[in-house]
Amino acid sequence: MIQNSWRAVLVAAMLMAPFSASAIGVSIGNVTSSGASTSELRHGDILTVDLVVENNAYLDIFSIGVGVSGYDTDGDGLGGEGLSVAGASLAGSLFNDTHIPTVGSFNGLDNVHGSVLERGSVAVPDNPGIPGDQSMAAVPAHAVLFEGASLSASNGDGSLDIGIGGGTVGGGDVHFQVQFVALPSGPGFSQEFTLDFGPAGSGMVAIGTGGGELAYTGDSLVLTVIPEPGTALLLGLGLVGLAARRR
């Protein structure tokens, strides 16, 4: 029901009239890791990424989606390539233009999601026994952090929004915090990931007046997941070390 309502409001918003081409942006604020590195993760490491959304040109925005993609490297819709979304904290609204201390922020686009939502689908081949049946391509797994739409535009720059910590983003809070966990499936080669935050790869767009898509940029993060050495490799290294000690 929520998804149907979202689509109905989005369609209505797209009927409204001229739009600006200035950019809206999602940027990485901070990156931390439970392991030794934020660029090289090993089994069980948790990577935490803080995100901030900006609308510095104060554009009228009727709808926007914010997503995360890039961890489903083979694009089969299942993920499981060694890096998964472990959780996220989400802002309740974006682009508010009014903030009253101890009360809240107002006139923004409300997030229809209270928690991170993962989407994706596997490929479906056509059935030769059914006339007109068509195959469906896989949709790579991606995570949705925000979807919001309204018949009234919101044009705050993002600084007056309430962040995940309860403060304003302009005061140092952030809109989103996403956690990833490194879970290599077994010994093998290291896997490189390019995580995209914002619109890239997740089908997310920003809609302005007139139903046109606003220029909307994201941010990215490159990292490598390093698998644990296999038992055979460890045994081999142990034997080499033992032989060296005997010489």
Mean pLDDT for 176-195 is 91
Cα separation, 220 vs 214, whole angstroms: 20
Radius of gyration of the chain (CA): 22
Q: What angle do CA 199, 163, 166 make, to 5 degrees?
A: 165
178-182, 189-193, 200-204, 237-241 — which is least confidently predicted?
A: 237-241
pLDDT above 80 (res 100): yes
User: Whose structure tokens read 């996220």?
Assistant: 88
Query: Is the alpha carbon torsion for 100, 106, 108, 114 positive or negative?
Result: positive
Res. 198: pLDDT tops 80:
yes
Residue 214 has pLDDT above 70, yes or no: yes
Question: Poorest-confidence range of 6-10, 52-56, 87-91, 223-227?
Answer: 6-10
pLDDT of residue 217: 96
- Pairwise pLDDT comparison (213 vs 124), residue with the higher score: 213
- Return phi, psi of residue 111, to 5°: -80, 125
**In this predicted model, what pLDDT tens digit does every residue of 42-89 receive, in sequence order?**
999 999 999 999 999 999 999 999 999 999 999 999 888 899 999 999
Burial class of residue 177, CB neighbours in 10 A (0-12, 13-18, 19+): buried
3-state secondary structure 109-152: EECCCCCCEEEEECCECCCCCCCCCCCECCEEEEEEEEEEEEEE
Q: How confident is the model at residue 134 (pLDDT cuts 50, 70, 90)?
A: confident
Residue 21 — very low, low, confident or very high, per pLDDT cuts 50/70/90?
A: very low
Average pLDDT over all residues of the chain: 86
DSSP state of 213: B
Residue whose C-alpha is closest to residue 175's, from 72, 57, 46, 25: 25
Distance between CA atoms of 120 and 41, rounded to whole angstroms?
A: 24
